[in-house]
Structure 1
Amino acid sequence: MGVEIRVDGLTKSFGGAPVWRDVSLTLPSGEISVLLGPSGTGKSVFLKCLVGLLKPDRGHILIEGHDIATCRERELYRVRRLFGVLFQDGALFGSMNLYDNVAFPLREHTRRSENEIRSIVMSKIEMVGLLGAERKLPGEISGGMRKRAGLARALVLDPEIILFDEPDSGLDPVRTAYLNQLIVDLNQQTGATFLIVTHDINTARTVPDNIGLLYHRHLAMFGPREMCLCSQEPVVRQFLNAQRVGPIGMSEEKDADELAAEAAAGVELAALPPIPLQLGPSNGEPRPSQRPPGQWCADNDVTPPPGSFEPDPSSAASPVPASAGAAAPAGAGPGVAGGDGP
C-alpha cells in the first residue's frame, strides 16, 4: 500500500532566484494526484526535492516519520527505496535491452538470484503490456513503449510512491489515453501513492483524485479534483480551460497593463466546462479511493457546471466494462499491448 507524503513550507531557489516559496500540501496514501503549472514553474524541481535529489532551502517533507529535507544520507537511501520514478523519456540505458533495463534496480539494490529477478522482471513487463519486446533495445521501439519500459523499471522494487514526470510528453492523444488507463489500472493493483506532473488537461480532468497548480512561485491550489474543476480562481480557470484570457501570460505572469486592457475590452474568462466522470479501472471495479460523482460539490454546497458527471460513451472518462479489457495483459488496460503501439 502507498504512504502519505506531507510537505510543509517548502521553499527552493537557485542562485538567489526563487523557484517557489512556502509550498504546503498532503499527498494522500494510495491516491493519484496531479501537479499542473505553466512551463518553468518548478514542477520537476518539486519532484526532485520529494525524492531527495535536491535539497530545499527550508521546509519539511515528511514520509513515515522521516524528513527528506534534513535527514542524513544513510536514512535518505532507505527512504528512497519507497520511491519509483518514471522520467520524461523513460531514461533507459541505450546499450541495454528492455529486460536488462528493468532488471537493473534489482541487480543494483538487492541480492536476488537471476531466477528470482527474471520472475519479477517478466511480471512487471507483462503489467505494462510489453511481453515479447523485452529483448529489444530502447532505440528499436517507439517513444510510448520506452515510457512503459521506464514504468516497468519504476515498479520493479514494488515502491509505495511512484512519481511521473510528464509521462504523456511526446505522445499523441490516443497513446496518452492508453497510458492514462494503464496508470489508473496500476494504481488499483499496487495501491501505491501516485504523483503525476503533466500539461495534459484531459489527464488532469479525468485521472486524478487530487489536483495541484504551481504558479507565480507558489502553490495556487491543491485539493480534491472536483474542488479544482469548480474553482473560480482566475489562474486555475484559465489554465484548466487553456485560455489566453487571464493572469497567465507568455512569460508566466501578465503585467498590470495587459490585465487592464483585457478588463477595459470586457473580455471575460470562459465558463467552466462540465466536470467529466473520473476514469475507472479497466476491470470495471471502483477505484480504491473513488468518491461518488458530485460528492465533494454536495458536501461543500457548490453547484457544478451544467452537464457535469453525465456518462458519455465516447469520452475517455467513461468507465470501461470489465469485458473490454479481458484479453489485455494484466494491468495493461484494453488495447495496451506489445509491439509498435504506445
Structure 2
Amino acid sequence: MGIEIRVEGLRKSFGRQVVWEDVTLTVPASEISALLGPSGTGKSVFLKNLVGLLRPDRGHVYVDGRDVPRVRENELYEVRRRFGVLFQDGALFGSMNIYDNIAFPLREHTRRTESEIRRIVLEKMEMVGLTGSGDKLPGEISGGMKKRAGLARALVLDPEVILADEPDSGLDPVRTAYLNQLFVDLNAETGATFLIVTHDIGTARVLPDNLGLLFRRGLVMFGPREMVLSSTHPAVDQFFNARREGPIGMAEEKDAADRTAEGGPPRTLPAPIPPQLMPSDGRVRPSMRRPGEWLAAHHVTPPPGSFVDETGRDWLRDWDTLTADHQRPA
C-alpha cells in the first residue's frame, strides 16, 4: 500500500533565482495525484526535493514521519527505497537490454537469486505490456516502450510511492492514453501512491484523484480533481482550459500592464469535467469518488456537459449501473 507525503513551507532557490517558496500540500496515501504548471515553475525540482536529490532552502518533507531534508545519509537511503521514479526519457542504460535494465535495482539493492530476479522482472514486464521484449536494447524500441520499461524498473522493488516526471513527454495522444490507463490499473493493483508531473491537460482532466498547479513561485491550488477543474481562479481557469487570456504568458509571468488589461473574471465557464478513468477490469479504486460528489458536498454546480463520456453516456446519472458488478473495496 501507499504512504502519505506531507510537504510544509518548502522553499527552493538557485542563487538569486527563487523557484518557489512556501509550498505546502499533502499527497494522500494510495491515491493518484498530478502536479502541473507552466514551463519553468519547478515541477521536476519539486520531485527531486521529495526524494532528497535536492535539499530545500527551508521547509519539511515528511515521508512516513521522517523529514527527508533532515535525515542522515543512511536513513535517506532507506527512504529512497520506498520510492520508484520514472524519469522523463526512461533513463535506461543504452548498453543493457530491457531485461537487464529492469533487473538492475534488484541486483544493486537486494540479495535475491537470479531465479527470483527473473520471476520479478518477468512479472513487471507483463504488468506494463513488455512481455517478449527483454532481449531488445533501448535503441531498438519506441519511445512508448522506453517509458514502460522505465516504469517496470521503477516497480521492481515494490515501492510505496511512484513518482513520474512527465511520463507523456514525446508520446502521441494514443500512447499517452494507453500510459494513463496503465497508471490507473497499476494503482488499483498495487495501492501505491502516485505523483505525476505533466504538461498534458488531457491527462490531468481524466487521470488523477487530485490536481495541483504551480505558478509564480508558489502553489496556486492543490486538491480533489473536481475542485480544481471547476475553479474560476484566473491562473487555474486559464491553464486547465488552455486559454490565452489570463495571468500566464509566454514568459513565466506576464507584465503588470498585460494583467491589468485582461483583468476581471473568466470570459467563459470552465470546460465540462470529464468522467475519471476507471481500471480496465471495471473495478472502483478505493480513492475513486462518485462523479459530482465533491461538487455536491460543496454546493458547486458542475459546468454544463460534465461527466458525459465520448459515447454520450452520463456517468452522473448512470454511476450505479456502471459500477453494479464492482463494489468499492473495503
Deviation for aligned residue 1:262: 3.1
Unaligned runs of 5+ in 1: 323-342
TM-score by length of 2: 0.93
- Relative contact order higher in (CA < 8 Å, ≥ 6 apart): 1
Output the amino acid matched with 1:275: I
Q: State whether residues 232 and 266 of structure 2, in contact with CA within 8 Å, keep that contact through their aligned partners in structure 1.
A: no
What's the Cα RMSD here?
1.8
Secondary structure at the counterpart of residue 69 of structure 2: coil
Which residue matches 1:279? Answer: 277
The CA deviation string for residues 20-73 of structure 1, in whole angstroms up to 9 with x for no partner, is 001000000000000000000000000000011000011000011110011110
Identity %: 69
* Aligned residue runs from structure 1 range 145-164, under 5 A: 145-164=145-164
Task: Determine the C-alpha separation between the residues in 1 that align with 2:28 and 2:267.
Answer: 31
* Aligned residue runs from structure 1 range 14-29, under 5 A: 14-29=14-29
Unaligned runs of 5+ in 2: 324-330
Which residue matches 1:247? Answer: 247
Which residue matches 2:224? Answer: 224
The verdict on how the C-alpha distance between 1:234 and 1:268 changes in structure 2, with shifts beyond 3 A counting, is closer
Output the amino acid matched with 2:270: L
Q: 2:298 aligns with which of 291, 297, 300?
A: 300
Output the amino acid matched with 1:41: T
Task: Determine the C-alpha separation between the residues in 1 that align with 2:253 and 2:191.
Answer: 38
Which residue matches 1:203? Answer: 203
Q: State whether residues 245 and 267 of structure 1, in contact with CA within 8 Å, keep that contact through their aligned partners in structure 2.
A: no
The verdict on how the C-alpha distance between 1:188 and 1:16 changes in structure 2, with shifts beyond 3 A counting, is same
More displaced 10-residue stretch of structure 1: 304-313 or 12-21:
304-313
Aligned residues between the structures: 318
Task: Determine the C-alpha separation between the residues in 2 that align with 1:267 and 1:119.
Answer: 57
Task: Determine the C-alpha separation between the residues in 2 that align with 1:75 and 1:123.
Answer: 29
Secondary structure at the counterpart of residue 281 of structure 1: coil
Q: 2:268 aligns with which of 264, 267, 270?
A: 270
Which residue matches 1:326? Answer: none
Which residue matches 1:10? Answer: 10
Which residue matches 1:261? Answer: 261
Deviation for aligned residue 1:308: 1.1
Task: Determine the C-alpha separation between the residues in 2 that align with 1:209 and 1:93.
Answer: 33
Q: State whether residues 246 and 269 of structure 1, in contact with CA within 8 Å, keep that contact through their aligned partners in structure 2.
A: no
Secondary structure at the counterpart of residue 70 of structure 2: coil
Q: 2:289 aligns with which of 281, 291, 300?
A: 291
Secondary structure at the counterpart of residue 258 of structure 1: helix
